[in-house]
Structure 1
Amino acid sequence: MKFRVTLFFLLYTFSSFAQTAIYQAFEADSAAEPRGGMPYLTTFLQSNLRKPIAAEAQGIGGRVVVTGIVEPDGRISDVKVVNAFRPDYDREAVRVFALFNAWKPGYKGGKPVRQYVNIPVTFKPNPPFIYENGARVSYFDGADKLIADSSKAQFKQTVPIDSLGIPSGDIVLYKARGKAWKEETRMPLIRKENGVRGASGKSGYLIGYQNGIIQWNGLLVTVDDKGAILRQTYFQDGKRSGTELVYHPTGLVAEKTEEFDDRYVTTSWYTNGQIRQIQSSAKQKINVPTPPDHVLTYWEDTGRQMVKDGAGRAVYQTRTPLPTDTTKFVAFVEEGQYENGFKEGVWKGRYADDSYSYEEQYDKGICQTGKARQADGTVLAYKEVQKQPEFKGGMPALGQFLASNLRYPADAQRARVQGRVFITFVINTDGSIVDAMVLKGVGYGADEEALRVVKSMSGRWHPGYLRGKPVRVKYNLPINFTLQ
Structure 2
Amino acid sequence: MRVLRAAMLAASMLMSMQLMAQEMRYYDLYWKEVDKEKAIYYSTEDLITSQPPLIRVTKYFIDTGARHSIVHYVAAAHNAGKEIRQGSRMIWNKEGQLVLRETYENNKLTDSLISYYATGGIKRLEIYKDDEMLEGYVYEEDGTQITYYPFEQMPQFPGGDQAMFQYINRKIKFPKSALKAKAFGTVLATFIVGADGIVRDIEIGQSVHPDIDMEVIRVISLMPPWQPGKQDGRPVPVRYNIPIKFGYN
**1:369, distance to aligned residue in structure 2 (A):** 3.7
Say which of 402, 410, 414 aligns to 2:180: 414
Question: Corresponding residue for 2:64?
Answer: none
Residues 441-460 of structure 1 show CA distances to partners (whole Å, capped at 9, x for unaligned) of 4445212210122123323x
Structure 2 unmatched runs, 5+: 59-70, 78-82, 104-108
Matched, 1:256 2:74: yes
Matched, 1:371 2:139: yes
Say which of 92, 104, 109 aligns to 2:12: 92
* Amino-acid identity (%): 19
Cα 1:356–1:480 change in 2 (3 A) is farther
Name whichever of 403-412 and 358-367 sits farther off. 358-367
Aligned ranges for residues 313-352 of structure 1 at < 5 Å? 318-322=90-94, 329-332=96-99, 334=101, 343=111, 349-350=115-116
Higher RCO structure, 1 or 2 (CA under 8 Å, sep 6+)? 2
The number of equivalent residue pairs is 207
Aligned ranges for residues 234-273 of structure 1 at < 5 Å? 246-248=55-57, 254-256=72-74, 266-268=85-87
Structure with the larger helix share = 2
CA contact (8 A) 1:430 1:463 kept: yes
Residues 5-54 of structure 1 show CA distances to partners (whole Å, capped at 9, x for unaligned) of xxxxxxxxxxxxxxxxxxxxxxxxxxxxxxxxxxxxxxxxxxxxxxxxxx
**1:321, distance to aligned residue in structure 2 (A):** 3.3
Which SS does the other structure have where 1:421 is aligned? strand
What RMSD in Å do the two structures reach over aligned CA positions?
4.8
Residues 379-398 of structure 1 show CA distances to partners (whole Å, capped at 9, x for unaligned) of 98542111112334544443
Residues 81-107 of structure 1 show CA distances to partners (whole Å, capped at 9, x for unaligned) of xx23276424125568x99xxxxxxxx
Q: Distance in 1 between matches of 2:202 and 2:53?
A: 30
Question: Corresponding residue for 1:398?
Answer: 164
**1:408, distance to aligned residue in structure 2 (A):** 0.5
Relative to the length of structure 1, the TM-score reads 0.33
Q: Distance in 1 between matches of 2:73 and 2:128?
A: 27
Structure with the larger strand share = 1
Question: Corresponding residue for 2:192?
Answer: 426
The amino acid of 2:238's aligned partner reads V
Q: Distance in 1 between matches of 2:227 and 2:240?
A: 13
Question: Corresponding residue for 1:194?
Answer: 27
Query: Quick check: which has more Rg, 1 or 2?
Result: 1
Cα 1:420–1:229 change in 2 (3 A) is farther
Cα 1:230–1:388 change in 2 (3 A) is farther
Say which of 459, 463, 473 aligns to 2:238: 473
Question: Corresponding residue for 1:291?
Answer: none
